[in-house]
Amino acid sequence: MNIKNYDYFWVIFIIALSALIIFGQPSLIINGLLLGFIYSLGAIGLTLVFGILRFGNFAQGDLMTLGGYISLTIVTVIFAGIGFTGSALGPFTFGLPIVLAIPLTMLLTSIIVVILDQLIYKRLRTRQASTMLISIASLGVAIMIRGLVQFLWGNEPEYFPRESKQFYMLPLDIRIPPDNVILGLMAVLMTLGVYLFLKYNKYGKFMRATANNPNLSLSTGINTSIVIMWTWIISGSLAAAGGTMLAVSQAQILPMTGWKILLPIFASVILGGIGKPIGALVGAIIIGISMEASTAWLNPTYKPAVAFTIMIAMLLVKPNGLFGEKD
Amino acid sequence: MALLDVQNINAGYGETEILHSVSIQVNEGNLVAIIGPNGSGKSTLLKVIVGLLEAKKGNIEFMADSITNSSPQKIVELGISYVPQAENVFTNMTIKENLEIPSLVLKFNFKKRLEEILELFPILDTKMNTKAGTLSGGQRQTLAFAKALISKPSLMILDEPSAGLSPIMADSTFETIESINKSGVTILIVEQNAKKILSIADRGYVLATGENKIDDTGLNLLTNPDVGMLYLGGSN
């Protein structure tokens, strides 16, 4: 990693952050940080799939939506059906059912994405379809998932059971919803878990090797089918957790929730360097903070444009991203 | 009986056939070289042997068992290590991680083998936590050899190991290959530097336009005027 290559980027970013704090909008940074952590869950999955399978998975946003709805169903139908409702935990707006629904949703979504891979992507790989074609297929999967969500849960917003709670009030007039603290912490722990998996687990090492050089992995004896399955399991489970956290933090979920954050997720991946999980995390944090911080000056409807602008700027200045290697 | 027996292999990419009924034999303990002009199908043949490319016709036997069109995983499990011409180390991983990968695949005692392999390649010992991507061409080649040898293969297959190296590094690489072979490892090697490799090879095969042309001992091939005229630029 050559720091000199992106010194200017960090300088501009830190000046912008300092300006926000000086001019009295530190809450935006804190809330943007949470948004960044949630985006990072989608972005790490996206970048892992790109690193191993070499295609941009346009279904990642809708997988997050699906994860959110599966959590909602577990909480409001299954848990409520057996009388497990639970009141809100401490300062948070949600109770134990949502906390327990997250791992279940991660498991279910992992199974769904592995099945999708076997039914669609694996067949395309076997036929040696181009990565462009597989990306287009993922767009089809995205629309299919959204259609399924609309069919099963309708087009109206759905709400997780919640109770009103006071914000944390910190110095400098910083107001933070307590949910954001715990959700951010959960996202960080999951990201850390992925990092440790990639660094120390046998299959994590195989994933890094395959991302670096698929042919050498094969000729070294690595079973790339298992590597691909692990990639989908991690990507799907992170998308499920991210989608649920996003729905809980926004207090509602819509069929378009995931689709709307697909652009910031892609922007995060490109900013950090395609195929780089740490880059996706850093990229997501920068995108999250920038999008939230922009509302100090811009109408919130322009937030996606901010992400888009950062993505285009990075592509023009350093196409390989902050953590990307030179070709 | 040959350790590796490649019989009448036809193979290629898509509809294009590169190899036409190519046969080679590698006896245990030998160093066997494949030479020939660019585009003669040398590297393609190695890819077919290690399972990276499908054979359309023919048979490949290793230790008298057919391995034709076996998966690369199966080939590695049987004891064949392959070092590709380029991009033969995982550049995003450290030297230690590169050496560890075969032990994770084949489930052998990594610590014990690591000590042994570092005795053979002491230059790697001081850089164990260095990313392979930061190594020089010669150091990468050393790491690629160490990575291939750490699993104690019965057969080591090398694809143009001197390509892109300085003359000094190339000489050092040939010395290493010779010493690996003398330690008892059978080697099948594709090499552009025909004079160098034939001088140390037990046997050599000359391929051209995807066909067997000449095969003989390394020294005989070196002095064969047909080889000289056709493939060594007219000199011996």
Give the closest of B75, B77, B93 to A209, CB-based: B93
* Residue A274 included in any domain: no
* Residue A205 included in any domain: yes
Residue A275's pLDDT is what?
83
**Mutation target among B90, B143, B156 for the A interface, most CBs of A within 10 A:** B90
How many C-beta atoms surround the C-beta of residue B109 within 10 A? Answer: 9
* Residue A199 included in any domain: yes
* Residue A301 included in any domain: no
Report whether pLDDT(A120) > 80.
Answer: yes
Residue A204's pLDDT is what?
96
Query: Tens of pLDDT along B163-209?
Result: 888 889 899 999 999 999 999 999 999 998 988 999 999 999 999 88
Beta-bridge mates of residue A13: none
With an 8 Å Cβ cutoff, are A221 and B82 in contact?
no
In chain B, residues with a C-beta closer than 8 Å to the C-beta of A207 are none
Query: Tens of pLDDT along A256-309?
Result: 999 989 999 999 999 888 888 888 999 999 899 888 888 888 888 888 888 888
Q: Phi/psi class of residue A325: alpha, beta or left (left: φ > 0; alpha: ψ in -120 to 50)?
A: beta
* Residue A310 included in any domain: no
Residue B236's pLDDT is what?
40
Report whether pLDDT(B234) > 70.
Answer: no
Distance (Å) from the C-alpha of residue B88 to the closest C-alpha of chain A? 7
- Domain hosting A163: range is 25-253
Query: Tens of pLDDT along B44-84?
Result: 999 999 999 999 999 999 999 999 999 999 999 999 999 99
Residue A168's pLDDT is what?
82
Q: Work out the percent of chain A whose per-residue pLDDT is above 70.
A: 93
Residue A5's pLDDT is what?
53
Chain A's closest residue to B52, CA to CA, is A219
* Residue A105 included in any domain: yes
Q: Is the pTM higher than 0.90?
A: no
Residue A6's pLDDT is what?
60
How many C-beta atoms surround the C-beta of residue A246 within 10 A? Answer: 25
Are A261 and A249 contacting, i.e. CB atoms less than 8 angstroms apart? no
> Rounded distance, CA A222 to CA A102, Å?
32
Residue B44's pLDDT is what?
96
Report whether pLDDT(B24) > 60.
Answer: yes
Q: Is B54 on the interface with A (CB under 8 A)?
A: no
* Residue A109 included in any domain: yes
Q: Is A223 on the interface with B (CB under 8 A)?
A: yes
Q: A70 or A279: whose pLDDT is higher?
A: A70
Q: Where are the alpha helices (DSSP H) in chain B?
A: 42-49, 72-77, 95-106, 110-120, 137-149, 167-182, 194-200, 218-223, 225-231
What is the rounded average pLDDT of the residues A67-87? 92
* Residue A286 included in any domain: no
Give the closest of B52, B89, B97 to A215, CB-based: B52
Q: Is B105 on the interface with A (CB under 8 A)?
A: yes
Q: Which amino acid appears at position A136 of this protein? A: I
Q: What is the mean pLDDT of chain B?
A: 93
CA dihedral A103, A106, A107, A112 (to 10 degrees): 160
B5-to-A280, B22, B78 alpha-carbon distances in Å: 48, 11, 15
> Rounded distance, CA B26 to CA B19, Å?
18
Q: Is A100 helix (H, G, I), strand (E, B) or coil?
A: helix
Report whether pLDDT(B131) > 50.
Answer: yes
With an 8 Å Cβ cutoff, are B87 and A216 in contact?
yes
Residue A23's pLDDT is what?
65
What is the rounded average pLDDT of the residues A152-179? 85
The secondary structure element, H or E, covering residue A283 is helix A277-294
Q: Is B80 on the interface with A (CB under 8 A)?
A: no
Q: What is the mean pLDDT of chain A?
A: 89
Residue A92's pLDDT is what?
87
Number of domains in chain A: 1
Q: Is B153 on the interface with A (CB under 8 A)?
A: no
